[in-house]
């Protein structure tokens, strides 16, 4: 069974991008060694990891309706889960064992439940699909950050793809993700997750506890009034359908110029960034200056250079071209 055969099957099932990485590399390079997201924790016999992604439809970036956007993102995630399910059983029919990786849920044992069981962005880097952006999303040459990912572990030994070593993200000299962020959550190659969560997870668990559960516990006489609120109904939808509990904010995704779909469909709509401020521009200028002087970012985990692209930015990529620089085999 060849890598090409497995990747062809993943595309047949609906993958827009697919790559393979050997589990030995993943076990040796956990994104955060203090809370290791490694295959051997989930499936010790695993030898290879098939990583695949589905692009987000252009329509969600031409709409300002948060629920419609969140609903679409939830549907993409359900589809990816289905694809991982079918790829796992197909590998089994070929005489191998396979395990699909848990999609959106975070692992209560890792970093106070803030990390996934495996980190799909880091898997995607290792499988040669892209590199990290300034806002800590995974950028692909084909669709920039406008993708969701999933993965399947298998005991099958497959030829791995080669990691991209160039930085696909232009960096602070672009900084459109930082300029557009409605909660000012983007820093230099990292994210203020609490701030991002305020826009990305409008009906996430902390909003439900803060806005609905706590007032009712504090004053039981308010239960009917709180339960009758349209907002509480929306939160109930989020719990029932998962939609609206994550993936609500499209801003850093729709303004990123990396990826072929940006110039074709988004550049005219998202050229102007209304959220930009002088303070943000000054912060970006300071970052760009520091990078020019070769200064590293305080607190940037040394592991992270591997995921940003160790040889630095080369040129703007809009498709998966053969000349994109990759790790030597």
Residues with Cβ within 8 Å of 10's Cβ and at least 6 positions away in sequence, in order, are: 18, 50, 52, 83, 87
Question: Binding to ligand B12 by residue 148, rule CB under 6 A?
Answer: yes
Instruction: Using CB under 6 A, pick the residue from 19, 31, 39, 171 that binds ligand B12.
Output: 31
Q: Segment near ligand B12 (CB under 6 A), from 44-52, 85-93, 274-282, 297-305?
A: 297-305
Which single residue is written with the structure tokens 């943000």?
A: 280
Burial of 69 (0-12, 13-18, 19+ CB in 10 A): buried
Instruction: Using CB under 6 A, pick the residue from 43, 52, 61, 120 that binds ligand B12.
Output: 120
Question: Binding to ligand B12 by residue 145, rule CB under 6 A?
Answer: yes
Distance linking the first and last C-alpha atoms of the chain: 20
Question: Binding to ligand B12 by residue 198, rule CB under 6 A?
Answer: no
Which C-beta is closer to ligand B12: that of 53 or that of 160? Answer: 53
Question: Binding to ligand B12 by residue 252, rule CB under 6 A?
Answer: yes
Question: Binding to ligand B12 by residue 149, rule CB under 6 A?
Answer: yes
The residues that bridge with 54 in the sheet, in sequence order, are 148
How many residues at the interface with ligand B12, by CB under 6 A?
A: 41
Q: What is the rounded CA–CA span in Å between residue 305 and residue 323? A: 21
What are the tokens at 289? 């200056």
> In angstroms, how far is CA 72 from the centroid of its own chain?
15
Question: Binding to ligand B12 by residue 201, rule CB under 6 A?
Answer: yes
Q: What is the rounded CA–CA span in Å between residue 73 and residue 55? A: 10
Question: Binding to ligand B12 by residue 191, rule CB under 6 A?
Answer: yes
Q: Which residues are at the interface with ligand B12 (CB under 6 A)?
A: 31-32, 103-104, 106, 114-116, 119-121, 135-138, 145, 147-149, 188-191, 193, 196-197, 200-201, 247-250, 252-253, 297, 299-301, 303-304, 307
């Amino acid at each position: 069974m060849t890598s090409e055969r497995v990747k062809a099957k993943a595309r047949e099932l609906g993958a827009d991008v697919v790559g393979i990485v050997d589990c030995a590399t993943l076990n040796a390079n956990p994104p955060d060694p203090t809370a290791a997201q490694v295959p051997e924790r989930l499936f010790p016999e695993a030898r290879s990891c098939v990583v695949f992604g589905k692009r987000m439809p252009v329509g969600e970036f031409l709409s300002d309706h948060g629920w419609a956007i969140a609903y679409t993102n939830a549907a993409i995630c359900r589809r990816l889960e289905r694809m991982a399910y079918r790829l796992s059983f197909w590998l089994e029919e070929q005489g191998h064992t396979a395990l699909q990786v848990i999609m959106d849920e975070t692992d209560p044992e890792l970093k106070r439940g803030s990390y996934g069981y495996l980190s799909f962005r880091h898997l995607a880097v290792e499988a040669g699909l892209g590199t990290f952006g300034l806002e800590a999303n995974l950028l692909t040459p084909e669709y920039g950050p406008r993708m969701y990912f999933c993965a399947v572990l298998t005991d099958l030994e497959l030829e791995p793809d080669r990691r991209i070593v160039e930085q696909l993200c232009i960096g602070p000299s672009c900084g459109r993700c930082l300029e557009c962020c409605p909660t000012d959550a983007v820093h230099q190659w990292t994210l203020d997750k609490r701030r991002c969560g305020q826009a990305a997870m409008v009906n996430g668990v902390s909003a439900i506890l803060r806005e609905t559960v706590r007032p009712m516990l504090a004053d039981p006489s308010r239960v009917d009034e709180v339960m009758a609120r349209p907002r509480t109904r929306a939160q109930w939808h989020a719990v029932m359908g998962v939609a609206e509990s994550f993936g609500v904010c499209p801003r850093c995704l729709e303004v990123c110029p990396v990826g072929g779909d940006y110039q074709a469909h988004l550049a005219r709509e998202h050229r102007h960034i209304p959220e930009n401020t002088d303070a943000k521009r000054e912060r970006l200028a300071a970052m760009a200056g520091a990078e020019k002087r070769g200064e590293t970012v305080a607190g940037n985990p040394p592991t992270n250079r591997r995921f940003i692209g160790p040889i630095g930015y080369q040129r703007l990529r809009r498709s998966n071209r053969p000349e994109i620089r990759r790790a030597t085999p």
